[in-house]
Homo-oligomer: A and B are copies of this chain.
């Protein structure tokens, strides 16, 4: 079978709380996309495959298709557990490590492990996609989110990475901690408060201490309820950048939700670092890159 005679790809990013799928031509053109909120956590065991086939009919393709699934669908709670692939890993390594659920039809892309120190599922496809879209083989790629990933791309492969639980800490502190009573329930954006949070985090030795500054500033009328969520966002993102030793002149590729990438870009710029941002559709190009390495 020649490369051009390959069937179309159904690329699926199936996370804990969302399902996204795209129909992609062998040459890499995105012909159709859809998204639902049927993440992995919304399913009981055994319903994954029928949902996948039925939902992807909505993409309008009726040829023989290959499905590549990335994300938490490959975890113990998903369709089938796909063992983590060790770093360093690129498109070919992932293609060789696929877990085929139905041979030549449905495969799960393994997550990556960094030794036994860290893991990811789904982000590997976004990183390889970002590299493909930007034509990069060496880069520091950051995926902000609930669990941010800082990924080193070397020679076109993922050499290593670190997870930072930044978004989760933000939600914990915002919703469940003593700080909640100093934070307005609705989200407000206030750039000076955000940057004040970044500064405080850069000065402090730990979020254990700097987080308390939100409460203290509120008590002394130095921070209003409406400014507090931006300040907290600055504290956790600042802590992340400090821990990752961001310095002036550093170049970062941000991949993810646009609003969140804008916050990171602002904090990075404030510290003299540079960034470019890409949306999460990068994962389509990553799954396509893996697909190109599959020998059918």
Interface residues of A (CB under 8 A from B): 113, 116-119, 147, 162-166, 168-169, 172-173, 175-178, 204-209, 211-213, 215-217, 219-220, 222, 236, 239-240, 242-245
Smallest CB gap from A211: residue in B: B165
A-B contact sample (9 more), CB < 8 A, given A116-B217, A116-B220, A172-B177: A119-B219, A165-B212, A168-B177, A204-B243, A205-B242, A205-B244, A206-B207, A206-B243, A208-B236
A176 close to B172 (CB less than 8 A): yes
Q: Which residue from B119, B206, B216, B242 sits with its C-beta under 8 Å from A117?
A: B216
Closest 5 A/B residue pairs (Cβ)? A206-B243, A205-B243, A164-B208, A172-B172, A163-B212
| Chain B min CB distance to A15 (Å) | 13
B207 close to A118 (CB less than 8 A): no
| Chain B min CB distance to A189 (Å) | 22
Q: A172-B173, A172-B176, A172-B177 are in contact. Are A166 and B208 (CB under 8 A)?
A: yes
B173 close to A213 (CB less than 8 A): no
Contacting residues, chain B, for A116 (C-beta < 8 A)? 216-217, 220, 222
Q: List 14 A-B contacts (CB under 8 A).
A: A113-B220, A116-B216, A116-B217, A117-B213, A117-B216, A164-B208, A169-B208, A172-B172, A175-B176, A205-B242, A206-B242, A208-B239, A208-B240, A208-B243
A119 close to B216 (CB less than 8 A): yes
Q: A219-B119, A222-B116 are in contact. Are A243 and B177 (CB under 8 A)?
A: no
